[in-house]
Amino acid sequence: MFRVGIVGDGYTAADLLRLLAHHEQAEAVRIFSTENIGRRIDEVYPHLIGFSELICEESNWDLLKEECDLVFLALPHGLSVSIAMELLPAGVKCVDLGADFRLKDAGLYEEYYELTHPAPELLEEAVYGLPEIYREEIKQASLIANPGCFPTGAILPLVPLLEAGVLESSNLVIDSKSGVSGAGRSPKASSHFCEVNEGVKAYGVGTHRHGPEIAQELSRAAGKTVEMVFTPHLIPMNRGILTTIYARLRTTADPGLVRLVLEEKYRNENFVRVLPAGVMPHTKWVYGSNLLDIGIYVDEKSRHVILVSALDNLVKGASGQAIQNMNLLLGLEENNGLKLAGIHP
């Protein structure tokens, strides 16, 4: 059994434990916390009773260096860099579920996260952890920047089409609808039940931190800076992100290529399902699972393309993808611990 540690005790940490409980070759051996030190994790999260008996401990990097093959950093941004700098030289692989290694441009990080990046040299070393795009790089890496939940839903449908030159790289509109768990577990006015339930709103309009992350990956795929807008919305549900993408066919591209390219790209993937023509995704179909579904609509006359993706923000958008990355880093079967179907209804 490989031995892994978890730093942090929020919702993504809890979902790591839920999924690791089914893993055949890796087990969680340590969990570090600040607020719950000394409490059993199944006291903090009673759904884990019978699935984990770990006790939340004060951070101790030496312990991780001695005991762990890999560590998940499930922390707010700004806290992961120094930990990675401790662990990596000791040969402990790191998967950062936060944002500290996602943007390759330290200037952009500073602009959006209002922090000077303490180790810009690590940005180059870190591999962006989207296995469907960077599988080979991940296998060779020690430090993974696990992608944001919104970026995962926007990038996987678009990258193959931008790489293939099927879509124009301008006038991209990405409109995402997210459940509330993406905002984390700390009580805030904006995640109060009564402020969310039976309503819907846009937030972070024009300023959300996942915008530059999406732009970075799409621009790389397009071979030039894409011109795009990204707007997230908050939906009264716990889990799930639906992303509706509006794009245009390039003048030279055949409308049939959209489906062809996506089906070809994802045919052998474990976790990406390109839905049949006429079927559009529903977030509940992937609830609790590591799947990402893609629906396709092409208006041949107007040459508009609408792509819709669905994922569970805590799984394929966070902890599931982190385990998928772990599997690659440790040389395991990529879907180990991740074979779950979505829970519907």
Catalytic residues, which ones?
A: 149
CB of 261 to its own copies, least distance (A): 19
Under 8 Å between Cβ of 328 and 141: no
CB of 223 to its own copies, least distance (A): 20
Distance CA 35, CA 41 (A): 12
55 binds its own copies (CB under 8 A): no
CB nearer its own copies, residue 258 or residue 286: 286
Distance CA 309, CA 303 (A): 19
Binding test (CB under 8 A) with its own copies, winner from 3, 139, 259, 282: 282
CB nearer its own copies, residue 254 or residue 300: 300
48 binds its own copies (CB under 8 A): yes
Q: Which stretch binds its own copies (CB under 8 A): 63-71, 90-98, 258-266, 279-287?
A: 279-287
What 103-110 contacts at long range (C-beta under 8 Å, 24+ apart), as own/partner pairs, is: 103/212, 103/213, 103/216, 104/216, 105/212, 105/216, 108/212, 108/216
308 binds its own copies (CB under 8 A): yes
CB nearer its own copies, residue 83 or residue 222: 222
22 binds its own copies (CB under 8 A): yes
CB of 184 to its own copies, least distance (A): 9
For 121-190, the DSSP string reads: HHHHH-EE--HHHHHHHHHH-SEEEPPPHHHHHHHHHHHHHHHTT-B-SSSEEEEEEE-GGGG-SS--GG
CB nearer its own copies, residue 14 or residue 145: 14
18 binds its own copies (CB under 8 A): yes
CB of 64 to its own copies, least distance (A): 24
Binding test (CB under 8 A) with its own copies, winner from 30, 177, 209, 220: 177
Site for its own copies in 198-257 (CB under 8 A): 198-203, 205-206, 227, 229, 231, 233, 235-240, 242, 244, 246
341 binds its own copies (CB under 8 A): yes
Sheet with 143-145, side-by-side order of all strands: 56-57, 26-32, 2-7, 70-73, 93-96, 143-145, 127-128
Binding test (CB under 8 A) with its own copies, winner from 287, 328, 337, 338: 287
The pairing of strands 304-311 and 292-299 is antiparallel
User: DSSP state, 16?
Assistant: H
Binding test (CB under 8 A) with its own copies, winner from 267, 268, 302, 331: 302
Sequence-distant (6+) residues with CB within 8 A of 78 are 100, 113, 115
CB nearer its own copies, residue 81 or residue 308: 308
304 binds its own copies (CB under 8 A): yes
150 binds its own copies (CB under 8 A): no
Site for its own copies in 77-96 (CB under 8 A): none
Cα dihedral 43, 48, 129, 122 in deg (nearest 10): 30
Under 8 Å between Cβ of 96 and 145: yes
CB of 141 to its own copies, least distance (A): 28
CB of 16 to its own copies, least distance (A): 12
Residue 313 CB: number of other CB atoms within 10 A?
A: 28
Count of residues interacting with its own copies (CB under 8 A): 82
Distance CA 36, CA 186 (A): 13
What's the token pair of residue 329?
A: 């880093």
CB nearer its own copies, residue 43 or residue 66: 43
What's the token pair of residue 321?
A: 């993808």
187 binds its own copies (CB under 8 A): yes
- Side-chain-facing half-sphere of 2: CA atoms under 13 Å: 21
